[in-house]
Amino acid sequence: MAQRKTLTVDDIWALDRIGGLALSPDGSQAVCSVARYSMDENKGFTSLWLLSTFGGTPRQLTQCGEKDGQAAWSPTGERIAFVAKREQEGKKDDSPQLYVIAPDGGEAQRISRFAPGIEAFKWFPDGKRIAFIAWVWPELKGTAAQTKRHKEFKDRKESAYVTSETQYRYWDHNLPMGRVPHLHVLDVATGRIRDLFEGTAYELSRYEPSADAFDISPDGKHIAFAHDPGEPKKIDNCSAIAEINVRSGKVEALVQDKAWNCEAPRYSPGGEHIAFVTAHQGKRHTMHHQLAVLERGGKHRVMSAEWDHEVNTPLRWAAGGEAVYFTAEDQGQRHLYRFELKDGTAREAVMGGWVQQFDVAGDIIVTAADAMDHPVRVHAHRGSDPALRLESFNDDKLKAFRLGHHESAQVNGALGEPVQVWLIYPPDFNPKKKYPVMHSIHGGPHAAAGDTFHYRWNNHVFAAQGYVVSCVNYHGSSGFGYPFLDSITHRWGELELQDVEATTDWLLKKPWADKARVFATGGSYGGYMVAWMNGHVKPGRYQAYVCHAGCFDWTAMFSDDAFTWHAKDLGAWYWDDLPKIHSQSPHAFAKHMKTPTLVVHGALDYRVPDQQGLAYYNTLKARGVDARLVWFPDENHWILKPRNSQLWYSEFFSWLKKHDPGAGRAKKLKAKA
């Protein structure tokens, strides 16, 4: 038997990545997207696959597109619609369009020709119409006018982005200049399109509007949607829920309160109720989103107020309307919950790992979930029967590798409270030997290091280099209750550093920990943390840092896409209380920075603009601190291209080894042998 090898960056790019998951109306089949990447071509290809919920061999449904996605079954199950950019009938799509294909196979057919493109969609219950989201010029009327303006905009010679909007970009892209997202109705047979919001001030969220932003009533007469009633439009405004009559276009406000954010409406099977998520952001901007249910024609009620968990979207009703399904985090994992409306209790319907996606049809549930030691797998769940695995896309590939053991531990952290830590050990770990320790600090801050298989920061790829990897769910992390999450507000860096340092102290007491070989790495807020540590931790405790897309200067960070949140997070605007802002800003402690640092940033990062990384790197160089810069002109907050990812891991490991005295000793011993 061939000896199994350790996991590398090339290996994780060779794995199939399972995405969007949707059940057929009768629950007998599921469709998912599968992305496969080519290191040689430096890009990925996504196709749709059919999975039987009774088991069997998956079947590839689409093959001609590059990024076929967002698949959804028609109400009768006879067709599957999806969004793609393809070439058909001699015409190549300039923007994403809607296609349909029979689950039995055959050629997919384009059913939309809308120049601005399709963002997301849902079938009407009659199967004859589709509601979709598209970015349009709100002052124009009719499809022809939109098509004409789209061509003019595409053919323009000027390159400037001109705006008077408060919010004009998001994560890695400028919001479409002069356009807003409207709801449209497509007649599948004729291709005729009607803009439901035309001539009104209504629009959907400008920040990655998805199919969760609206829902169609079971009788097809109304659409409930979330929208921002505030002016100007801002990322931190509270959304409201409204309902539009599809025929007349009349809009009725259902839930609107400037202090409560309301999103993701979902009609009950009978149409008499609408479930949605809501958060009392007037009380605190960090408040959990909770489950709420509106009785149409009546009032709404928050159902999960006594349940200290964040309710994630999407929402799915049980067949009888007595319960709602959703995912929620708990102690570093994400489970699928069934929330009973009658008594307000939540129980785990499917346990994580990390449930990435799910769907419900009748009494059948399908989940796409990963865990620390495996990528996403798809299972069907029927009542009390054991979960049935529906695919084995990566099984043969994973058999070639040996992964180290991982475990969850608790450390006494800041405020004397327990803090959860994931530990990932190298393959063939021997507790009698000495190992270097590496912190992998998660971003957010209101996120978590989870029981999940991460491609960009893969803990087993890190551990395969010989490190014991530590992932601390510091104060501020999600999934550990609201007081824990909110505890860092207006004092960023303070409690999180105590948690990381307490974990380091705890780790260095282990007999296998090499005290002279300790490193800290992090991305986004984790990058902020290692920059913060460089100004606050005594030099020599950590041999080197890696700062990926990290915040360095909170005043200069005002160029980001989320600047309206700053005063809420930090406690003041910089012009009102600069000392308070500086007390939470790594750059203000630059004179103490002496630890070697690798700085990584992408030019298309608008959440943490790349000048943050460049300023940090320049500061270290000006101070004579050993530093290295890896700057990607074509990447954003995340490194998404295969060859760039390959380089990222190479630079990451080379930097740590350069500053690892143990790595040098190992080379000498090998040479003598």
Cβ-contact 379, 369 below 8 angstroms: yes
R_g over Cα of the chain? 26
Euclidean distance between CA atoms 51 and 21, whole angstroms: 10
User: How high is the pLDDT of residue 267?
Assistant: 98
Which tens digits make up the pLDDT trace of 40-64? Answer: 999 999 999 999 999 999 999 998 7
pLDDT at 588 over 90: yes
- What average pLDDT does range 559-578 have in this prediction? 97
Q: pLDDT tens digits for 86-145? A: 987 778 899 999 999 999 988 899 999 999 999 999 999 999 999 999 999 999 999 999
Note the pTM of the prediction, 2 decimals.
0.95
Dist CA 371 CA 605 (whole Å): 28
| Exposure of 411 in the CB half-sphere (CA atoms within 13 A) | 25
Homologous superfamily (CATH) of 403-672 is Alpha/Beta hydrolase fold, catalytic domain (3.40.50.1820)
At 353-410, the pLDDT tens digits run 999 999 999 999 999 999 999 999 999 999 889 999 999 999 999 999 999 999 999 9
d(CA 548, CA 638): 9
Are residues 578 and 555 in contact, defined by beta-carbon separation less than 8 angstroms? yes
Q: Where residue 66 falls among pLDDT bands split at 50, 70, 90?
A: confident
How far is it, in rounded angstroms, from Cα 500 to Cα 505? 9
667 confidence band (pLDDT: 50, 70, 90): very low
Q: Which residues of 86-102 are buried (b: 16+ CB within 10 A; e: fewer)?
A: bebeeeebebbbbbbbe
Rounded to whole angstroms, the Cα distance separating 394 from 402 reads 14
* Pairwise CA distance, residues 393 & 376, whole Å: 10
Structure tokens at 14: 């060779």
The pLDDT value given to residue 671: 40
Instruction: Please check whether residue 262 is in contact with residue 275, taking contact to mean a CB–CB distance below 8 angstroms.
Output: no
Question: 656: how many CB neighbours lie within 10 A of its CB?
Answer: 25
pLDDT digits (tens, 9 = 90+) for 609-652: 999 999 999 999 999 999 999 999 999 999 999 999 999 999 99
pLDDT category of residue 4 using cuts at 50, 70 and 90: confident
